[in-house]
Amino acid sequence: MFKLIRRNLLRNKRRTILTVLSIAIALILLSFLDLLLAAMSGVNSANANRLVVRHAISLTFSMPAAYEQRLAALEHVEGITIMNWFQGRYIDDRPENFFPRFGTDPDTFPDVFPELALSPGEIDAWRAERTAFIAGRALAEEKGWDIGDVITIEGDIYPVDVELTLRGIFTHTTDEAAERVLYFDWQYVEEALGNPGQINSFYVLLDSPDNMNETIAQAEAMFENSPDQVRAETEAAFFLSFIEMMGNVQFLFSVIGLAVIASIFFITVNT
């Protein structure tokens, strides 16, 4: 049987090479879709003590940066930080060069995300340099980045190209998907854009999950009569709403995955 397979493979080397490449590309696509879904959802890394405040209409709308101080004054809030989705383009548009890229505040981020382990020296280095960034261990290993490496991300949503220097590599004890993310100082973009003072979301750390519902109600009521009303929700609920905003992504990825598997089957049969 193996002799027959080997003979058929060698009968048309060009077709065999094309078949192998087709299967490899299909498997890479399937793996990328699975990774993308994990990175987008982030439910496994959600903290029960954190809630997210975003614009009431949609995630595509932003809120005034001044909301941060008012939210920080709520009774059960222990920490708050900003989070803006930068997107951009790293190297090119190939799927393997996609990973989440967020602008945040290095001064407040470590306190709100204590599960992302950074050394005190790395935190200080990140805060000391406007163009510094931190990345998860899984992402850094995948890209071959070392401390001190400089990368460029071309802006698309925001007309700013950011040149960033790696100053910290963080780890997450339970969720590898959380290590496939890049964070940099949002003030870098703010200054380049003329300080518009607009934020996509605020991540709020509470003293206890028991105070979650009360704080959600207070946050929404606080801006009820403002032009930019807000929606507050648990971090896990926020991740799920992000997926819902994009449609039934899980179903779509399942269909694509089945199509990839079917393609592999038919390619193999016809070889």
Q: What is the pLDDT of residues 67-90, one digit of tens each?
A: 999 999 999 999 999 999 998 999
In a domain, 149, yes or no: yes
Cα dist. 107→1, 167, 216 in Å?
A: 65, 14, 24
Q: Is residue 213 part of a domain?
A: yes
The 3-state DSSP class for residue 97 equals helix
pTM: 0.76
- When divided into structural domains, the chain yields a total of 1
Asked whether the predicted pLDDT for residue 43 surpasses 50, the reply is: no
Q: How is residue 124 written in tokens?
A: 């200080």
Residue 19 lies inside a defined structural domain of this protein: no
- 3-class DSSP assignment, residue 105: coil
- What's the length of the chain? 271
Taking a C-beta distance cutoff of 8 angstroms, is the pair 53, 219 a contact?
yes
Closest CA to 115 of 51, 171, 169: 171
268 belongs to a structural domain: no
pLDDT band at 177 (very low <50, low <70, confident <90, very high): confident
- Residue 59 domain flag: yes
| pLDDT tier for residue 270 given thresholds of 50, 70 and 90 | low
Residue 183 and residue 194 in contact, taking contact as beta carbons nearer than 8 Å: no
Residue 175 within a domain: yes
Position 21 in a domain: no
> Which domain, by its residues, includes 208?
41-249
Asked if residue 108 belongs to a domain, the reply is yes
